[in-house]
Amino acid sequence: MTLIDPTAPAAAPAGVQTLPMAKAINAGLRRALADDPRVLLMGEDIGTLGGVFRVTEGLKNEFGKQRVIDTPLGEAGIVGTAIGLAMAGFRPVCEIQFDGFIFPAYNQITSQLAKLTNRHMGTQSFPVVIRVPYGGHVGAIEHHSESPEALFAHTAGLRLVSPATPHDAYWMIQEAIRSDDPVLFFEPKSRYWPKGEVDLSGNPTPLHASRVVRTGTEVTVVGHGAMVSTLLEAANLAEEEGTSLEVVDLRSLSPIDYGPIVESVQKTGRLVVASEAPGFVSISSEIAATVTERAFYSLQAPVLRVTGFDIPFPPARLETSHLPDADRVLEAVDRALAY
Protein backbone atom coordinates (compact mmCIF):
# COMPACT_ATOMS: atom_id res chain seq x y z
CA MET A 1 0.00 0.00 0.00
CA THR A 2 1.34 3.44 -0.91
CA LEU A 3 0.41 6.03 1.65
CA ILE A 4 0.01 9.67 0.67
CA ASP A 5 1.55 12.22 2.99
CA PRO A 6 -0.51 15.36 3.71
CA THR A 7 0.56 18.05 1.29
CA ALA A 8 -0.02 20.89 3.70
CA PRO A 9 0.34 19.86 7.35
CA ALA A 10 -1.87 21.89 9.66
CA ALA A 11 -0.21 24.39 11.95
CA ALA A 12 -0.19 23.49 15.64
CA PRO A 13 -3.31 24.96 17.26
CA ALA A 14 -3.06 27.46 20.06
CA GLY A 15 -5.23 28.79 22.84
CA VAL A 16 -8.07 27.44 24.95
CA GLN A 17 -11.24 26.08 23.37
CA THR A 18 -14.41 24.62 24.87
CA LEU A 19 -15.00 21.23 23.28
CA PRO A 20 -16.85 17.99 23.95
CA MET A 21 -14.56 14.98 24.36
CA ALA A 22 -15.48 13.58 20.93
CA LYS A 23 -14.30 16.79 19.27
CA ALA A 24 -11.22 16.95 21.49
CA ILE A 25 -10.17 13.46 20.37
CA ASN A 26 -10.88 14.49 16.77
CA ALA A 27 -8.60 17.50 17.23
CA GLY A 28 -5.91 15.33 18.78
CA LEU A 29 -6.09 12.85 15.91
CA ARG A 30 -5.97 15.68 13.38
CA ARG A 31 -2.83 17.08 14.99
CA ALA A 32 -1.18 13.65 15.10
CA LEU A 33 -1.99 13.06 11.43
CA ALA A 34 -0.60 16.47 10.49
CA ASP A 35 2.54 16.11 12.58
CA ASP A 36 3.57 12.60 11.46
CA PRO A 37 2.92 11.11 7.99
CA ARG A 38 3.36 7.61 9.47
CA VAL A 39 0.10 7.96 11.44
CA LEU A 40 -3.01 6.48 9.85
CA LEU A 41 -6.50 5.67 11.10
CA MET A 42 -8.36 2.40 10.51
CA GLY A 43 -11.85 1.25 11.42
CA GLU A 44 -15.38 0.46 10.37
CA ASP A 45 -17.17 3.49 8.89
CA ILE A 46 -14.60 5.94 10.28
CA GLY A 47 -14.00 7.70 6.96
CA THR A 48 -17.10 8.85 5.15
CA LEU A 49 -19.36 8.46 8.19
CA GLY A 50 -16.85 9.63 10.78
CA GLY A 51 -17.50 6.62 13.02
CA VAL A 52 -20.57 5.77 15.09
CA PHE A 53 -19.85 8.69 17.43
CA ARG A 54 -18.46 10.97 14.68
CA VAL A 55 -15.09 11.13 16.43
CA THR A 56 -13.20 10.94 13.12
CA GLU A 57 -15.59 13.19 11.22
CA GLY A 58 -13.92 15.28 8.52
CA LEU A 59 -10.51 13.63 8.77
CA LYS A 60 -10.89 11.58 5.59
CA ASN A 61 -11.67 14.70 3.59
CA GLU A 62 -8.63 16.42 5.05
CA PHE A 63 -6.06 13.62 4.86
CA GLY A 64 -7.41 11.27 2.22
CA LYS A 65 -8.70 7.71 2.08
CA GLN A 66 -5.20 6.22 2.27
CA ARG A 67 -4.66 7.66 5.74
CA VAL A 68 -8.22 7.42 7.09
CA ILE A 69 -9.20 3.92 6.04
CA ASP A 70 -12.66 2.39 6.07
CA THR A 71 -12.12 -1.30 6.81
CA PRO A 72 -14.32 -4.37 6.40
CA LEU A 73 -16.35 -5.52 9.41
CA GLY A 74 -13.64 -7.66 10.96
CA GLU A 75 -11.92 -6.57 14.16
CA ALA A 76 -9.32 -9.37 14.05
CA GLY A 77 -8.40 -8.26 10.55
CA ILE A 78 -8.20 -4.61 11.59
CA VAL A 79 -5.77 -5.31 14.44
CA GLY A 80 -3.82 -7.91 12.47
CA THR A 81 -3.34 -5.46 9.62
CA ALA A 82 -2.29 -2.78 12.09
CA ILE A 83 0.38 -5.10 13.49
CA GLY A 84 1.80 -5.59 10.01
CA LEU A 85 1.72 -1.85 9.34
CA ALA A 86 3.54 -1.18 12.62
CA MET A 87 6.23 -3.67 11.59
CA ALA A 88 6.58 -1.70 8.35
CA GLY A 89 7.18 1.56 10.22
CA PHE A 90 3.71 3.08 10.41
CA ARG A 91 1.79 4.17 13.51
CA PRO A 92 -1.76 2.87 13.00
CA VAL A 93 -4.71 3.94 15.16
CA CYS A 94 -7.58 1.42 15.15
CA GLU A 95 -11.14 2.21 16.16
CA ILE A 96 -13.35 -0.46 17.71
CA GLN A 97 -16.96 0.67 17.30
CA PHE A 98 -18.10 -0.49 20.77
CA ASP A 99 -16.39 -2.13 23.74
CA GLY A 100 -18.06 -5.51 23.21
CA PHE A 101 -16.88 -5.70 19.61
CA ILE A 102 -13.24 -5.93 20.66
CA PHE A 103 -13.41 -9.64 21.46
CA PRO A 104 -13.08 -10.93 17.88
CA ALA A 105 -9.65 -9.21 18.03
CA TYR A 106 -8.81 -10.45 21.53
CA ASN A 107 -6.37 -13.10 20.31
CA GLN A 108 -4.58 -10.65 18.02
CA ILE A 109 -4.25 -8.16 20.88
CA THR A 110 -3.27 -10.43 23.77
CA SER A 111 -1.42 -13.26 22.00
CA GLN A 112 0.30 -11.23 19.29
CA LEU A 113 0.38 -7.45 19.73
CA ALA A 114 1.16 -7.56 23.45
CA LYS A 115 4.00 -10.06 23.05
CA LEU A 116 5.73 -9.30 19.76
CA THR A 117 8.21 -6.76 21.13
CA ASN A 118 9.31 -9.33 23.71
CA ARG A 119 9.57 -12.02 21.04
CA HIS A 120 11.85 -9.70 19.08
CA MET A 121 13.94 -9.11 22.23
CA GLY A 122 13.14 -5.39 22.05
CA THR A 123 14.50 -4.89 18.55
CA GLN A 124 11.06 -4.26 17.01
CA SER A 125 8.44 -1.86 18.37
CA PHE A 126 4.70 -2.08 17.68
CA PRO A 127 3.23 1.44 18.06
CA VAL A 128 -0.43 0.48 17.60
CA VAL A 129 -3.22 2.45 19.30
CA ILE A 130 -6.62 0.81 19.70
CA ARG A 131 -9.45 3.22 20.51
CA VAL A 132 -12.24 1.60 22.51
CA PRO A 133 -15.50 3.47 23.33
CA TYR A 134 -16.61 1.81 26.57
CA GLY A 135 -18.96 2.01 29.54
CA GLY A 136 -22.62 2.62 30.19
CA HIS A 137 -24.97 5.55 30.79
CA VAL A 138 -25.97 5.61 27.11
CA GLY A 139 -29.08 3.40 27.24
CA ALA A 140 -27.64 0.69 25.01
CA ILE A 141 -27.52 -3.10 25.12
CA GLU A 142 -24.83 -5.20 26.77
CA HIS A 143 -22.23 -5.40 24.00
CA HIS A 144 -22.42 -1.60 23.69
CA SER A 145 -22.02 -0.74 27.38
CA GLU A 146 -19.40 -2.99 28.94
CA SER A 147 -16.16 -2.12 30.72
CA PRO A 148 -13.66 -4.83 29.75
CA GLU A 149 -10.49 -2.97 30.67
CA ALA A 150 -9.34 -5.45 33.35
CA LEU A 151 -9.08 -8.23 30.74
CA PHE A 152 -6.40 -6.25 28.93
CA ALA A 153 -4.70 -4.72 31.97
CA HIS A 154 -3.93 -8.31 33.02
CA THR A 155 -1.90 -8.84 29.83
CA ALA A 156 1.75 -7.85 30.06
CA GLY A 157 2.96 -5.78 27.11
CA LEU A 158 -0.10 -3.56 26.75
CA ARG A 159 -0.57 -0.03 28.02
CA LEU A 160 -4.09 1.13 28.95
CA VAL A 161 -5.28 4.69 29.45
CA SER A 162 -8.66 6.36 29.85
CA PRO A 163 -9.27 10.14 29.82
CA ALA A 164 -11.93 11.73 31.99
CA THR A 165 -11.96 15.22 30.45
CA PRO A 166 -11.79 16.74 26.96
CA HIS A 167 -8.43 18.34 27.83
CA ASP A 168 -6.90 15.01 28.77
CA ALA A 169 -8.48 13.30 25.76
CA TYR A 170 -6.87 15.80 23.38
CA TRP A 171 -3.38 15.35 24.80
CA MET A 172 -3.53 11.69 25.78
CA ILE A 173 -4.48 10.46 22.30
CA GLN A 174 -1.42 12.22 20.91
CA GLU A 175 0.83 10.82 23.64
CA ALA A 176 -0.59 7.34 23.00
CA ILE A 177 0.17 7.62 19.27
CA ARG A 178 3.74 8.71 20.05
CA SER A 179 4.27 5.70 22.32
CA ASP A 180 6.39 2.91 20.86
CA ASP A 181 4.34 0.37 22.83
CA PRO A 182 0.80 -0.77 21.99
CA VAL A 183 -1.80 1.36 23.78
CA LEU A 184 -5.48 0.63 24.38
CA PHE A 185 -7.21 3.99 24.57
CA PHE A 186 -10.48 3.52 26.47
CA GLU A 187 -12.91 6.36 25.73
CA PRO A 188 -15.85 6.77 28.16
CA LYS A 189 -18.65 7.13 25.66
CA SER A 190 -21.00 8.79 28.17
CA ARG A 191 -18.49 11.66 28.35
CA TYR A 192 -18.28 12.20 24.57
CA TRP A 193 -20.74 15.12 24.61
CA PRO A 194 -20.29 17.18 27.82
CA LYS A 195 -18.00 20.10 27.07
CA GLY A 196 -14.88 21.22 28.87
CA GLU A 197 -11.93 23.54 28.39
CA VAL A 198 -9.06 22.23 26.28
CA ASP A 199 -5.73 24.07 26.34
CA LEU A 200 -4.45 23.33 22.86
CA SER A 201 -1.06 24.89 23.55
CA GLY A 202 -0.49 23.77 27.14
CA ASN A 203 1.87 21.19 28.57
CA PRO A 204 0.24 17.76 28.82
CA THR A 205 0.35 15.67 31.97
CA PRO A 206 2.49 12.56 31.33
CA LEU A 207 0.43 9.77 29.79
CA HIS A 208 0.74 7.35 32.70
CA ALA A 209 0.40 9.79 35.59
CA SER A 210 -2.56 9.78 37.97
CA ARG A 211 -3.69 13.15 39.28
CA VAL A 212 -5.52 14.69 42.22
CA VAL A 213 -8.41 16.64 40.68
CA ARG A 214 -9.98 17.80 43.96
CA THR A 215 -8.24 18.10 47.29
CA GLY A 216 -9.79 16.88 50.54
CA THR A 217 -8.89 15.67 54.00
CA GLU A 218 -11.15 12.83 55.17
CA VAL A 219 -11.57 10.17 52.45
CA THR A 220 -9.72 9.53 49.19
CA VAL A 221 -11.94 8.44 46.29
CA VAL A 222 -10.35 7.04 43.13
CA GLY A 223 -11.75 6.30 39.69
CA HIS A 224 -11.18 6.62 35.95
CA GLY A 225 -13.03 7.69 32.84
CA ALA A 226 -16.70 8.55 33.34
CA MET A 227 -16.49 7.62 37.03
CA VAL A 228 -14.41 10.72 37.76
CA SER A 229 -17.39 13.01 37.14
CA THR A 230 -19.47 10.81 39.48
CA LEU A 231 -16.80 11.12 42.17
CA LEU A 232 -16.70 14.88 41.78
CA GLU A 233 -20.49 14.98 42.12
CA ALA A 234 -20.22 12.88 45.28
CA ALA A 235 -17.53 15.21 46.64
CA ASN A 236 -19.78 18.23 46.10
CA LEU A 237 -22.67 16.52 47.91
CA ALA A 238 -20.38 15.40 50.72
CA GLU A 239 -19.10 18.94 51.17
CA GLU A 240 -22.66 20.10 51.77
CA GLU A 241 -22.81 17.61 54.65
CA GLY A 242 -19.46 18.72 56.04
CA THR A 243 -17.33 15.83 54.70
CA SER A 244 -14.17 16.47 52.70
CA LEU A 245 -13.32 14.06 49.87
CA GLU A 246 -10.11 14.01 47.85
CA VAL A 247 -10.67 12.85 44.25
CA VAL A 248 -7.95 11.10 42.25
CA ASP A 249 -8.27 10.48 38.50
CA LEU A 250 -6.29 7.35 37.57
CA ARG A 251 -5.92 8.30 33.88
CA SER A 252 -3.66 5.29 33.31
CA LEU A 253 -4.90 1.76 34.03
CA SER A 254 -1.70 -0.06 33.10
CA PRO A 255 0.68 0.95 34.44
CA ILE A 256 -1.04 2.56 37.42
CA ASP A 257 0.70 5.55 38.98
CA TYR A 258 0.28 4.83 42.68
CA GLY A 259 2.28 7.81 43.96
CA PRO A 260 -0.56 10.36 44.21
CA ILE A 261 -2.98 7.67 45.46
CA VAL A 262 -0.74 6.47 48.28
CA GLU A 263 0.21 10.03 49.23
CA SER A 264 -3.47 10.94 49.42
CA VAL A 265 -4.33 7.88 51.54
CA GLN A 266 -1.48 8.67 53.89
CA LYS A 267 -3.20 12.03 54.42
CA THR A 268 -6.85 10.93 54.65
CA GLY A 269 -6.49 7.43 56.10
CA ARG A 270 -9.40 6.09 54.03
CA LEU A 271 -9.88 4.95 50.43
CA VAL A 272 -12.92 4.22 48.25
CA VAL A 273 -12.27 2.90 44.73
CA ALA A 274 -15.08 3.25 42.17
CA SER A 275 -15.55 1.74 38.71
CA GLU A 276 -18.33 0.84 36.29
CA ALA A 277 -16.71 -2.57 35.72
CA PRO A 278 -17.64 -5.60 37.83
CA GLY A 279 -15.66 -5.74 41.07
CA PHE A 280 -14.44 -9.34 40.98
CA VAL A 281 -10.81 -9.64 39.76
CA SER A 282 -10.85 -6.03 38.64
CA ILE A 283 -8.64 -2.95 38.46
CA SER A 284 -10.47 -1.80 41.61
CA SER A 285 -9.39 -5.03 43.32
CA GLU A 286 -5.77 -4.45 42.31
CA ILE A 287 -5.78 -0.88 43.63
CA ALA A 288 -7.34 -1.99 46.91
CA ALA A 289 -4.70 -4.70 47.38
CA THR A 290 -1.74 -2.54 46.38
CA VAL A 291 -2.72 0.44 48.54
CA THR A 292 -3.27 -1.91 51.48
CA GLU A 293 0.29 -3.19 50.99
CA ARG A 294 1.89 0.23 50.55
CA ALA A 295 -0.10 2.31 53.03
CA PHE A 296 -1.28 -0.24 55.59
CA TYR A 297 -0.21 1.75 58.65
CA SER A 298 -1.93 4.88 57.33
CA LEU A 299 -5.31 3.22 56.81
CA GLN A 300 -7.96 3.84 59.46
CA ALA A 301 -10.54 1.67 57.66
CA PRO A 302 -10.57 -1.11 55.08
CA VAL A 303 -10.30 -0.06 51.45
CA LEU A 304 -13.83 -0.19 50.02
CA ARG A 305 -14.93 -0.74 46.43
CA VAL A 306 -17.99 0.59 44.61
CA THR A 307 -18.41 -1.16 41.26
CA GLY A 308 -20.83 -2.59 38.77
CA PHE A 309 -22.36 -5.87 39.89
CA ASP A 310 -20.81 -9.20 38.89
CA ILE A 311 -23.40 -9.91 36.21
CA PRO A 312 -23.69 -9.44 32.44
CA PHE A 313 -24.55 -5.85 31.64
CA PRO A 314 -28.31 -5.47 32.22
CA PRO A 315 -31.00 -4.10 29.87
CA ALA A 316 -30.95 -0.35 29.35
CA ARG A 317 -33.80 0.34 31.78
CA LEU A 318 -31.81 -1.28 34.60
CA GLU A 319 -28.42 0.25 33.96
CA THR A 320 -28.90 3.07 36.46
CA SER A 321 -29.36 0.45 39.18
CA HIS A 322 -26.29 -1.45 37.99
CA LEU A 323 -23.81 1.40 37.59
CA PRO A 324 -22.33 3.22 40.60
CA ASP A 325 -23.76 6.68 41.22
CA ALA A 326 -22.95 9.41 43.72
CA ASP A 327 -25.31 7.90 46.32
CA ARG A 328 -23.53 4.55 46.25
CA VAL A 329 -20.16 6.28 46.53
CA LEU A 330 -21.37 8.31 49.50
CA GLU A 331 -22.74 5.18 51.18
CA ALA A 332 -19.23 3.68 50.98
CA VAL A 333 -17.75 6.92 52.29
CA ASP A 334 -20.09 6.75 55.29
CA ARG A 335 -19.04 3.15 55.95
CA ALA A 336 -15.36 4.12 55.78
CA LEU A 337 -15.88 6.99 58.19
CA ALA A 338 -17.78 4.72 60.60
CA TYR A 339 -14.65 2.73 61.45
pLDDT for the residue 12: 47
How far apart, in whole angstroms, are the C-alpha atoms of residue 264 and residue 258?
Answer: 10
Work out the pLDDT band at 7, boundaries 50, 70, 90.
very low
pLDDT for the residue 142: 79
For residue 203, pLDDT over 90 is answered with no
**Residue 299 · residue 265 · CB < 8 Å:** yes
Closest by Cα among 255, 264, 252, 234 to 324: 234
Longest CA–CA separation in the chain, Å: 64
172 phi/psi in degrees, rounded to 5: -70, -35
What is the rounded average pLDDT of the residues 11-39? 91
pLDDT for the residue 8: 41
How far apart, in whole angstroms, are the C-alpha atoms of residue 129 and residue 79?
Answer: 10
Give buried/exposed letters for 229-238 (b at 16+ CB in 10 A, else e).
Answer: bbbbebbebb
Work out the pLDDT band at 5, boundaries 50, 70, 90.
very low
pLDDT in tens, 45-81: 999 999 999 999 999 999 999 999 999 999 999 999 9
Q: In sequence order, what DSSP letters do the residues of 179-238 get, joined into one string? A: -SS-EEEEEEGGGSSSEEEEETTSPPPPTT--EEEE--SSEEEEE-TTHHHHHHHHHHHH
**Residue 195 · residue 18 · CB < 8 Å:** yes
Mean of the per-residue pLDDT values of the chain: 94
Work out the pLDDT band at 2, boundaries 50, 70, 90.
very low
pLDDT in tens, 96-144: 999 999 999 999 999 999 999 999 999 999 999 999 999 998 888 778 9
Strands lying side by side in the sheet with 211-214: 211-214, 245-249, 219-223, 271-278, 304-308
Q: Provide the sign of the torsion angle of the four alpha carbons 191, 197, 203, 205, taken in this order.
A: negative
pLDDT for the residue 57: 97
Q: What is the CA radius of gyration of the chain?
A: 20
For residue 215, pLDDT over 80 is answered with yes
How much of the chain exceeds pLDDT 70, in percent? 96
* Of 16-25, 136-145, 209-218, 239-248, minimum mean pLDDT range: 136-145
The reply to whether 137 belongs to the active site is no
pLDDT for the residue 202: 79
Give the predicted TM-score (pTM) of the model.
0.93
Question: Which of the residues 120, 137, 143, 144 is marked catalytic?
Answer: 144
pLDDT for the residue 14: 65
How much of the chain exceeds pLDDT 90, in percent? 91
Closest by Cα among 57, 62, 90, 63 to 5: 63
Work out the pLDDT band at 3, boundaries 50, 70, 90.
very low
Report the length, in residues, of the chain.
339
For residue 4, pLDDT over 70 is answered with no
Work out the pLDDT band at 91, boundaries 50, 70, 90.
very high
How far is C-alpha 238 from the chain's CA centre?
A: 26
* DSSP type of residue 109: I
Closest by Cα among 90, 46, 91 to 72: 46
pLDDT in tens, 286-296: 999 999 999 99
How far apart, in whole angstroms, are the C-alpha atoms of residue 28 and residue 122?
Answer: 28
User: What are the chain's domains?
Assistant: 19-199 (3.40.50.970), 211-338 (3.40.50.920)
In degrees, rounded to 5, the angle at the alpha carbon of residue 184 between the alpha carbons of residues 179 and 186 is 125
For residue 1, pLDDT over 70 is answered with no
